[in-house]
């Protein structure tokens, strides 16, 4: 089947079997390998992408279901070539990653949270990433990274006081 996908504000037309997950479509057909294949049955969260701004599991969605929605992958998050988004920056600074396998998904889950809630509590941050498994960090630095990014992003919108 032919399906037209809107990924990171770019249109792609791909020929897919109905059983191809959005995850495999992104990775194998479009070489967007930032979405990681972990458990492939909706448990680990490593394949998280944004659909119309909400974090979803791309292994639990078929590519044929994804026409007409706006998909954002980790590749679409940075503001420009060689630049990092405030969240990506914060993850680097607080050592919010070790092996990096869960990281794109963590950042996207956090991005979905911060786009709805600019000042999340620690509990809200923990809840937002509770569907994402990290086997390295123990989560503490990830939570710290998201809190730091939230603080900076709030600051960005403050009017400059003379």
Closer by beta carbon to other proteins, 9 or else 41: 41
User: Would strands 48-51 and 54-57 be described as parallel, antiparallel, or unpaired?
Assistant: antiparallel
Interface residue with other proteins, options 25, 35, 46, 55 (CB under 8 A): 55
Q: Which stretch binds other proteins (CB under 8 A): 57-65, 78-86, 136-144, 154-162?
A: 57-65
Q: How far apart are the first and last CA of the chain?
A: 58
Does residue number 64 form part of the binding site for other proteins (CB under 8 A)?
Answer: yes
User: Closest distance between other proteins and the C-beta of residue 38, in Å?
Assistant: 10
Q: Which two tokens stand for residue 62?
A: 């078929």
User: Closest distance between other proteins and the C-beta of residue 81, in Å?
Assistant: 29
Taking alpha carbons only, the member of 76, 73, 69, 75 closest to residue 6 is: 69
Binding residues among 73-92 for other proteins as defined by CB under 8 A: none
Q: Which residues pair with 54 in a beta bridge?
A: 51
Closer by beta carbon to other proteins, 30 or else 126: 126
User: Closest distance between other proteins and the C-beta of residue 34, in Å?
Assistant: 16
Does residue number 72 form part of the binding site for other proteins (CB under 8 A)?
Answer: no
Binding residues among 107-126 for other proteins as defined by CB under 8 A: 109, 112-113
Round to whole Å and give the CA distance between 145 and 110.
10
Round to whole Å and give the CA distance between 64 and 25.
10
Does residue number 65 form part of the binding site for other proteins (CB under 8 A)?
Answer: yes
Phi first, then psi: what are they for 7, rounded to 5°?
-120, 125
* Strand spans (E) along the chain: 2-7, 10-15, 48-51, 54-57, 70-72
Q: Which residues of the chain form contacts with other proteins (CB under 8 A)?
A: 1, 17-19, 21, 24, 39-43, 45, 48, 51, 54-57, 59-62, 64-65, 109, 112-113, 127-128, 130-131
């Amino acid at each position: 089947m032919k399906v037209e996908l809107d990924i990171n504000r770019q249109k792609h037309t791909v020929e897919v079997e109905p059983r191809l997950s959005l995850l495999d479509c992104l990775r194998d057909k479009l070489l967007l390998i930032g979405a990681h294949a972990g458990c492939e049955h909706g448990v680990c969260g490593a394949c998280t992408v944004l659909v119309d701004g909400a974090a979803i599991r791309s292994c639990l969605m078929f590519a044929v279901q994804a026409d007409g929605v706006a998909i954002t992958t980790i590749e679409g998050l940075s503001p420009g070539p060689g630049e990092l988004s405030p969240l990506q920056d914060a993850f680097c600074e607080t050592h919010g990653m070790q092996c990096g396998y869960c990281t794109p998904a963590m950042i996207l889950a956090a991005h979905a949270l911060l786009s709805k809630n600019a000042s999340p509590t620690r509990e809200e941050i923990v809840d937002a990433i509770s569907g994402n498994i990290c086997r390295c960090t123990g989560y503490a630095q990830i939570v710290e990274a998201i809190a730091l990014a939230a603080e900076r992003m709030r600051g960005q919108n403050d009017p400059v006081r003379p």
